[in-house]
């Protein structure tokens, strides 16, 4: 591994990359980057994915992850606490589906996996005709015609850029179909690669809507149904056992660790990732990588000759995937405590190499973050853009907290996202170490900068956790 | 679609590519290629994969495939018969596995699928410690140390070139492990891409060896076990329901269709593919594509103004995948009938674009095939090499029959091979049409050439279907 100090010397001598005089010591940047590039992050990730494994909120795996994280911090002498939070407790069950045989066509199995919040089918399954739609508008236009049918949400996501475009079909489609009397929903997997692999994910079931059975379908099977529908009616048999547990909420926790600031300990920089994962894989890229980056950042910060000026607070949020109760609970707890957050940065974009930093803050914030990020030029990660944030830190926006996120190469992220293929082997140790390095440096810079970032304007939309969905 | 005739004119005027004067009419080459490039092959493939679906020998799907193929030929007025053959009847059952929890490590599921001929585990499954080996030699060296253990066959196949190198682990590993008293075998999937996808396949269980439970493991899970074994003992729980049916043989059939030769009807050119598939996918690339190429060849040959000089015989072999009884039965039946085979060409290399022709024959055969293949230069497929053959036509080698195969782009073949991802969507219609065109022309050229290819030398090794394995 090349010590980054040599590269940094070039960067920090370049006039355009020089941080404000005396603001952040270059020697600290090189120390932090070098320490992260030693690659402890991949060892942390292996402990979490190989040792703990899948950790869907409410499951024994999630409980084990909380214990593991607490032990990890304690073993390194870092102050840690658990903040209890009640989380959605949804449990997966049996899941299978098939195209029912018809004249000239044999029955065929379909690769499915239940989506979060799916209701179970009746014992033994259900059988209904399939109606295909490509948008929520198309579904709405069908009105009562979908009554008793299985709605197939079709799309043509090809790469990472398609996720934002089509995720609404998975998030809001099942509830919308339920409202129109549909018997079940099948959503084509939101993925950029497929080997007959279904990708699960959250669905939003607003108050007053009764969830219906809802499953992700592999891309191959979505295309099969599309071809068959072009030739005539198609009936599918669906068996889904997944359901909300009884009771539907389970006790869990956010894990909160702190390195107290030396000059302004009451000013807090949050560095966040989510400890839960979907249950199909081991959550290596979503969000084991983020957890590894946050933990390695704390390890490195704790190893520095002095603490940062402000308090560095690691928050491992619980249940980002299927309810985001950890995010809301942290926000409400810190509101009640009168916590002064000066910035929050989230790591939930996989394990790809870092490409830059995203920030949402007040006027002048972009320039200030550019100055902070200058040492990341050594990693090709000093590109600073507007638009930082993430699900878990998003409630802090309503307190005007500047929100940041690390931008990373996501070209393969959706090949694995929310599927059984989200496993340790997908992570390149060097790319993860570089991401951890960029994250650690930004965390330190935010906590140690003499001047905090300008507060962000309060969002004009109502808080998402108080809005009815869809 | 560009009519290939224009391109052909250039090719057939080039001196180095001119076939023996008067031998094969260029106008027929252009007609055959153009007809195949119209793309009927993809429609045939859709009928087989979407309409019939999975067709493991002995299953209702395989029976349906036989009926479908017979109907297909009859509907086009092509003479067809079924040659009964008893085939291995192995049925898949429940299949799951997990790493058993141990100190500091939670239980994790493993993605497995039973291999052909696997015995079932006891009801409720079995639990044993894992021993990892990388070769049959390494296994042999362990002797009785594997008694009662689960043998993990590890390897590092990366691309298509690794299949030949490592397929022996799957074919012979389980029986070898059984002989040494192992409780079960797990074979790392032979694949060039993975999204936690297990790839099944045949295993050879020689007379006198009692099969043990044997499964393919996804690449991810093979790597997980490897990492865990580096830290200490690993115990796996395995539940496999797959087993030989009772009785272990089921009635099935080869489908044999003919276009009778006009000049030498007693001289037969066999064009072959296999009608069965593994059960996980729909056998689109293995070997639906080959079946589509053979059927399209027959359709085109039947549409020519005159029949070829010799008899063109399509053979859709049964159970290439899990016993190859169709191949042996065809050989024995035609031996008994005194059939004069002058050549056999097999299509069982997927749906990739054609790159050339492979041939195993006597002296001068390579040059003769080069002359025949000259019109394929228009498709970039006129590269002729030694080494033609295929499992289903291989018994004919013992009668000295020249054996050929189409060479095709196989760069993605092992991404999907023997897995649930072997589905229709993987096939590019244009590539398949080009492969069908090349195959159809070679079939016609072999059947219509004035001079047959020189007979191949008889193999010095004993027939594989009479050898004890491994």
Nearest CA to A113 among A242, A235, A283, A244? A242
Q: Pairing state of beta strands A126-133 and A150-153?
A: parallel
Measured between CA atoms, how close is A195 to chain B, in angstroms?
Answer: 5
- Best of A95, A102, A106, A158 to disrupt the B interface by mutation (most B CBs within 10 Å)? A106
Kindly state the average pLDDT of the residues B219-245: 98
The DSSP annotation for A384-440 comes to EEE----TTTGGGGGGT--EEEEEE--TTHHHHTTSTT--GGG--HHHHHHHHHHHH
| Measured distance CA(A11)–CA(B68) in Å, rounded | 69
| Measured distance CA(B357)–CA(B376) in Å, rounded | 9
Q: What pLDDT is stored for residue A21 in this prediction?
A: 40
Q: What pLDDT is stored for residue B23 in this prediction?
A: 56
Looking at beta carbons, which residues of chain B come within 8 Å of A424?
223-224, 227
- Best of A423, A427, A428 to disrupt the B interface by mutation (most B CBs within 10 Å)? A423
- In SS3 terms, B231-287 reads as CCCCEEEEEECCEEEEEEEEEEEEEEEEECCCCEEEEEEEEEEECCCCCCCCCHHHH
Q: What pLDDT is stored for residue A10 in this prediction?
A: 35
Residue in chain A closest to B427 (alpha carbons) equals A220
How many residues can be counted in chain A? 470
| Measured distance CA(A294)–CA(B6) in Å, rounded | 64
Q: Pairing state of beta strands A235-240 and A264-274?
A: unpaired
Nearest CA to A105 among A253, A271, A233? A233
Kindly state the average pLDDT of the residues A59-63: 98
Cα separation values, B146 from B129, B182, B467, Å: 9, 5, 27
CB contact under 8 A, A196 and B224: no
Q: What is the pLDDT of residues A318-330, one digit of tens each?
A: 999 999 999 999 9
| Measured distance CA(B379)–CA(B398) in Å, rounded | 33
Taking the CA atoms of B196, B200, B206 and B211 in sequence, report the sign of the dihedral they define. positive
Residues 6+ apart with CB under 8 A from A75: none
Q: Does A429 touch chain B (CB under 8 A)?
A: no
Residue in chain B closest to A196 (alpha carbons) equals B421
Contact residues, B window 100-139, toward A, CB-based 8 Å cutoff? 104-108, 111
Looking at beta carbons, which residues of chain A come within 8 Å of B224?
50, 423-425
Q: Does B193 touch chain A (CB under 8 A)?
A: yes
Percent of chain B surpassing pLDDT 90: 92
CB contact under 8 A, B196 and A50: no
- Alpha carbon distance, N-terminus to C-terminus of chain A: 49
Q: What pLDDT is stored for residue A14 in this prediction?
A: 39
Measured between CA atoms, how close is B48 to chain A, in angstroms?
Answer: 10
Q: Does B424 touch chain A (CB under 8 A)?
A: yes
β-bridge mates for residue A110, sequence order: A97
B124: its two tokens: 């409720």
B261: its two tokens: 């030769």
Kindly provide the ipTM of the predicted complex, given to two decimals: 0.93
- Best of A66, A199, A200, A220 to disrupt the B interface by mutation (most B CBs within 10 Å)? A220
Q: Pairing state of beta strands B383-386 and B354-360?
A: parallel
Residue A299: CB atoms within 10 Å: 20
CB contact under 8 A, A223 and B425: yes
Q: Evaluate whether B189 touches B154 at the Cβ level (below 8 Å).
A: no
- Per DSSP, helices labelled H in B125-231 are 136-142, 161-179, 219-229
The count of C-alpha atoms lying within 13 angstroms of the C-alpha of B386, restricted to the half-sphere facing its C-beta, is 6
CB contact under 8 A, A196 and B421: yes
Measured between CA atoms, how close is A416 to chain B, in angstroms?
Answer: 7
Q: Which of B106, B420, B424 sits opposite A64 (nearest CB)?
A: B106
| Measured distance CA(B42)–CA(A228) in Å, rounded | 15
Residues 6+ apart with CB under 8 A from A260: A79, A307, A311
| Measured distance CA(B430)–CA(B436) in Å, rounded | 10
Catalytic residue among B95, B132, B320, B358: B320
Q: Does B219 touch chain A (CB under 8 A)?
A: yes
The count of C-alpha atoms lying within 13 angstroms of the C-alpha of A404, restricted to the half-sphere facing its C-beta, is 34
pLDDT for A6 beyond 50: no
Kindly state the average pLDDT of the residues A375-397: 97
The count of C-alpha atoms lying within 13 angstroms of the C-alpha of B17, restricted to the half-sphere facing its C-beta, is 19
CB contact under 8 A, A220 and B421: yes
Q: Mean pLDDT for chain B?
A: 94
Residues 6+ apart with CB under 8 A from B80: B69, B70, B73, B74, B255, B256, B257, B258
pLDDT for B312 beyond 80: yes
The rounded Cα A293 to chain-centroid distance in angstroms is 14
Q: What pLDDT is stored for residue B34 in this prediction?
A: 98
Q: What is the pLDDT of residues A118-167, one digit of tens each?
A: 999 998 999 999 999 999 999 999 999 999 999 999 999 999 999 999 99
Measured between CA atoms, how close is A141 to chain B, in angstroms?
Answer: 30
| Measured distance CA(A250)–CA(A199) in Å, rounded | 24
Q: What is the pLDDT of residues B87-133, one digit of tens each?
A: 999 999 999 999 999 998 999 999 999 999 999 999 899 999 999 99
pTM of this structure: 0.94
Kindly state the average pLDDT of the residues B47-51: 98
Q: What pLDDT is stored for residue B466 in this prediction?
A: 82
A120: left (phi over 0), alpha (psi -120 to 50) or beta: beta
β-bridge mates for residue A130, sequence order: A150
User: What single DSSP character describes residue B102?
Assistant: B
Q: Does A420 touch chain B (CB under 8 A)?
A: yes
Q: Which residue has the higher pLDDT, B5 or B140?
A: B140
Q: What pLDDT is stored for residue A466 in this prediction?
A: 82
Q: What pLDDT is stored for residue A24 in this prediction?
A: 67
Residue A371: CB atoms within 10 Å: 17
Q: What is the pLDDT of residues A216-249, one digit of tens each?
A: 999 999 999 999 999 999 999 999 999 999 999 9
Measured between CA atoms, how close is A53 to chain B, in angstroms?
Answer: 6
Percent of chain A surpassing pLDDT 70: 94
Q: Which of A60, A108, A415 sits opposite B53 (nearest CB)?
A: A108
Task: Report helix, strand or coil for B201.
Answer: coil
- Best of A107, A195, A281 to disrupt the B interface by mutation (most B CBs within 10 Å)? A195
Q: Does A54 touch chain B (CB under 8 A)?
A: yes
Q: Does A282 touch chain B (CB under 8 A)?
A: yes
| Measured distance CA(B219)–CA(B195) in Å, rounded | 8
Residue A51: CB atoms within 10 Å: 17
Instruction: Using pLDDT thresholds of 50, 70 and 90, give the confidence band for residue A50.
Output: very high
| Measured distance CA(B35)–CA(B41) in Å, rounded | 10
- Alpha carbon distance, N-terminus to C-terminus of chain B: 49
Nearest CA to B53 among B64, B44, B38, B66? B64
Q: B2-16, B173-187, B274-288, B427-441: which has the minimum mean pLDDT? A: B2-16
Q: What is the pLDDT of residues A404-428, one digit of tens each?
A: 999 999 999 999 999 999 999 999 9
pLDDT for A8 beyond 50: no
CB contact under 8 A, A197 and B197: yes
Kindly state the average pLDDT of the residues A252-276: 98
| Measured distance CA(A396)–CA(B387) in Å, rounded | 68
Q: Which of B195, B223, B425 sits opposite A419 (nearest CB)?
A: B195
| Measured distance CA(A399)–CA(A397) in Å, rounded | 5
Instruction: Using pLDDT thresholds of 50, 70 and 90, give the confidence band for residue A260.
Output: very high
Looking at beta carbons, which residues of chain A come within 8 Å of B195?
193-195, 197, 415-416, 419-421
Q: Which of A50, A60, A420 sits opposite B196 (nearest CB)?
A: A420
Looking at beta carbons, which residues of chain B come within 8 Å of A281?
196
Q: Is A332 a catalytic residue?
A: no
Residue B283: CB atoms within 10 Å: 32
β-bridge mates for residue B424, sequence order: none
Q: What is the pLDDT of residues A78-127, one digit of tens each?
A: 999 999 999 999 999 999 999 999 998 999 999 999 999 999 999 899 99
């Amino acid at each position: 591994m090349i010590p980054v100090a040599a590269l940094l010397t070039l960067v920090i001598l370049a006039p355009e990359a020089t941080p404000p005089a005396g603001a952040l010591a270059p020697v600290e940047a090189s120390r932090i980057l070098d320490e992260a590039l030693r690659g402890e992050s991949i060892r942390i990730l292996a402990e979490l994915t190989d040792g703990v494994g899948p950790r869907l909120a409410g499951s024994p795996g999630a409980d084990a992850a909380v214990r593991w994280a607490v032990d990890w911090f304690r073993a390194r002498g870092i102050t840690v606490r658990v903040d209890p939070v009640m989380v959605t407790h949804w449990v997966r069950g049996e899941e299978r589906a098939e195209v029912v045989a018809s004249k000239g066509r044999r029955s065929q199995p379909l690769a499915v996996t239940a989506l979060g919040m799916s209701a179970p089918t009746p014992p033994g399954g259900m059988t209904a005709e399939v109606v295909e739609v490509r948008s929520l508008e198309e579904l709405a236009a069908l009105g009562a015609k979908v009554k008793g049918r299985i709605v197939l949400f079709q799309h043509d996501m090809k790469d990472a850029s398609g996720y934002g475009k089509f995720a609404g079909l998975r998030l809001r489609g099942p509830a919308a179909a339920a409202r129109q009397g549909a018997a079940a929903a099948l959503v084509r997997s939101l993925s950029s690669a497929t080997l007959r692999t279904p990708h699960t994910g959250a669905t939003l079931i607003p108050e007053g809507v009764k969830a219906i059975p809802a499953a992700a379908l592999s891309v191959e099977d979505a295309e099969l149904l599309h071809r068959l529908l072009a030739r005539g009616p198609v009936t599918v048999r669906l068996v889904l056992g997944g359901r909300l547990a009884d009771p539907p909420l389970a006790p869990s926790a956010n894990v909160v660790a702190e390195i107290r600031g030396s000059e302004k300990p009451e000013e807090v920089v949050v560095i966040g990732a989510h400890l839960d994962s979907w249950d199909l894989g081991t959550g290596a890229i979503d969000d084991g990588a983020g957890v590894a980056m946050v933990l390695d950042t704390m390890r490195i910060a704790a190893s520095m000759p002095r603490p940062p000026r402000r308090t560095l607070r690691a928050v491992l949020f619980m249940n980002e995937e299927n309810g985001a109760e950890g995010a809301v609970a942290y926000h409400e707890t810190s509101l009640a405590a009168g916590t002064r957050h000066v910035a929050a940065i989230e790591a939930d974009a996989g394990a790809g190499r870092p490409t830059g930093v995203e920030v949402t803050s007040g006027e002048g914030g972009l320039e200030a973050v550019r100055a902070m990020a200058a040492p990341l030029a050594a990693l090709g990660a000093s590109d600073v853009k507007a638009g930082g944030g993430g699900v878990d830190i998003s409630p802090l926006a309503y307190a005007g907290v500047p929100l940041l996120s690390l931008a990373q190469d996501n070209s393969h992220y959706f090949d694995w996202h929310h599927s059984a293929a989200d496993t340790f082997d997908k992570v390149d140790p060097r790319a993860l170490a570089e991401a951890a390095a960029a994250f650690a440096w930004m965390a330190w810079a935010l906590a140690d900068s003499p001047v905090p970032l300008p507060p962000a304007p309060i969002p004009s939309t109502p808080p998402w956790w108080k809005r009815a969905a869809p």
